Amino acid sequence: MAQDWEIEDFIDVRDGRLHVDGVDMSDLVREHRTPLFVFSESRIRHNIDRLKRAADVIACPLKVCYAAKAMSTMAILRAVKDAGADIEVNSGGELWKALEIGFRGDQIIFNGTSKEIGELEMAIDADIYAIQVDSLYELSLIEETAQKLGKRANVSLRLVPEIESGTHSGLQTALLTSKFGMMPDEAFAAFRNYRNSPHLNLCGVHLHIGSQNPDPDVYTEALKTLFESLVRVSRETGISLKHINLGGGFPVNYLRDDSNVGDIAEDKAALFQSEFDAADAIGRAWSVIEEVAAATDSKDLLAHLTLLVEPGRSIIADAGICLTTVRNKKVRPISGSTEEFDHWLLTDAGFNILLSMETYKWYYHLISADRPVAAHVHRYKVAGPLCDGGDVYFDIEGENRLPDHRLLPENVLPGEVLALLNCGAYSLAQASQYNGRFLPAVVLIRADGSPELIRKRDSFDDLIANDIY
């Protein structure tokens, strides 16, 4: 019988061993050691195709811009590009990487709260599709920079329209209490003041309501807000904006296997367990803005529109797993008891490569990669290798965001390889060499089923590459 976490034609069990796209994970571990990230190019393509289905339910072109911040190892960016997506970048570094991999300027949008002049120059030089402007000050800087370069910059303004989503507070990004974007009135003033600028092409409005937002109605509200803004801009300034950008945040089901669900607070589990069809949500939102267009006599604005989305995790999260080896074990009495004991397992994958597990207490389902079909009913305290008490795979703050214990087969011993699933997003992208730990190797299983090393494991030299001593 298939395990609940299995996904047909992608991640499954063959001959009792864990496979991704038909490749035996034990073979990869033997060759590359652990921790090891493994990604699937087919799954990336599948996820992009799934998002692109939204184009069939809206009456305008759709531009899917992969949020590079989720994972930007070069071969992954190339896989995303080859799968037909465009790209959203957040820094000069990500912009450079996108250009280096071959994204054209018109495939790139550039977000961020603190852009430097050098970064703006790069973006304007490359004629990117849109610089998404975070403040009035930044808009003046972009105009000045474009003027200096003798160019015209494409800009869209990022709004914070006070839309609350159901996600984690650190991932709420459309509220005034967040650090992002401009108040709608500021943006309207900007459109009015800059409408005749020869150095600015005011082409869109943007918002991002937050990451892993499970409520489709929030996207409807967001799209409606964006379209109403477009109508108001057109009425008050005569500018016909060419795109609206709904942001990213489409959720991923991290709890496909819900065996741990009883140990997680209900609202948190609901966040991690979301079954969400972005195309469906966008289709519903689109029908609402068609109503707004009819009611405000602005169907002509809809007719010339492009809809942008900038998903990260819904493209890359479930396309990546992290393989880790148990390196140590211990048995300890449960506090206050002399008869009950916790069985501890210490792995080689810490929050230096899975930061969200510490910061947001993010749930990544854990299985034994060596014994994937054995009954996962034994409770273990699992922790990473870092010299930091927060480097654990369970709840320590009483929030029940993570389970108290992880469920694995009986008698797991040092040497057994485990797999954390759905951890392709915001993992390696946020990794550090904390505690002198190497950044891991990454393998991409190509669409033809062949595994390819796309990032070497660090060496001692990498730990000191930029030190001067």
Ligand X SMILES: Cc1ncc(COP(=O)(O)O)c(C=O)c1O
Six token digits for residue 28 = 């990869």
Q: Is there binding between residue 424 and ligand X (CB under 6 A)?
A: no
Among 161, 184, 216, 249, which residue sits at the site for ligand X (rule: CB under 6 A)?
249
The span of 311-319, 360-368, 416-424, 440-448 binding ligand X (CB under 6 A) equals 311-319
Stretch that binds ligand X, among 241-249, 271-279, 389-397, 434-442 (CB under 6 A): 241-249
Judged by CB under 6 A, the residue of 92, 184, 216, 311 near ligand X is 311
Which phi and psi angles does 32 have, rounded to 5°? -115, -5
Active site residues: 387
314 binds ligand X (CB under 6 A): yes
Tell me which of 154, 173, 229, 274 binds ligand X, using CB under 6 A: 173
Q: How far is the CB of 252 from ligand X (least distance, A)?
A: 8
Query: Which residue lies nearer to ligand X by CB, 206 or 405?
Result: 206
Q: Sign (positive/negative) of CA torsion 225, 231, 237, 240?
A: positive
Cβ-closest position to ligand X: 312
Binding characters for ligand X, 186-225, by CB under 6 A (x = yes): ----------------------x--xx-------------
Residue 248 as a binder of ligand X (CB under 6 A): the answer is yes
Backbone φ and ψ for 253, nearest 5 degrees, come out as: -85, 100
Long-range contacts of 269-278 (CB under 8 A, 24+ apart): 270/166, 270/214, 271/166, 271/167, 271/168, 271/212, 271/214, 272/212, 272/363, 274/212, 274/214, 276/214, 276/216, 276/250, 276/251, 276/314, 277/50, 278/50, 278/51, 278/54, 278/250, 278/309, 278/311, 278/314
In whole angstroms, how close is the CB of 325 to ligand X at the nearest point? 29
Task: Kindly state whether residue 313 participates in binding ligand X, applying the rule CB under 6 A.
Answer: yes
Q: Which two tokens stand for residue 61?
A: 């072109």
Which x/- pattern over 268-307 shows residues binding ligand X (rule: CB under 6 A)? ----------------------------------------
Strand order in the sheet with 17-20: 11-14, 17-20, 23-24
Contact call for residue 310 and ligand X (CB under 6 A) = yes
34 part of the interface to ligand X, by CB under 6 A: no
72 binds ligand X (CB under 6 A): no
Closer residue to ligand X, CB minimum distance, 314 or 325: 314
Do the beta carbons of residue 195 and residue 202 sit within 8 Å?
yes
Which is nearest to 428 in space by CA: 350, 342, 367?
350
- The nearest distance, CB 268 to ligand X, in angstroms, is 17
Options 135-143, 310-318, 376-384, 409-417: segment touching ligand X (CB under 6 A): 310-318
Position 247 contacts ligand X (CB under 6 A): yes
Instruction: Pull the structure tokens for residue 64.
Output: 């899917």
Length of the chain: 469
For tokens 């494991």, name the residue.
457
70 binds ligand X (CB under 6 A): yes
Q: What DSSP line would sit under 32-99, residue for residue?
A: H-SSEEEEEHHHHHHHHHHHHGGGGGSSS-EEEEEEGGG---HHHHHHHHHTT-EEEE-SHHHHHHHH
Q: Which residues bind ligand X (CB under 6 A)?
A: 67, 70, 88, 111, 173, 208, 211-212, 247-250, 310-314, 425
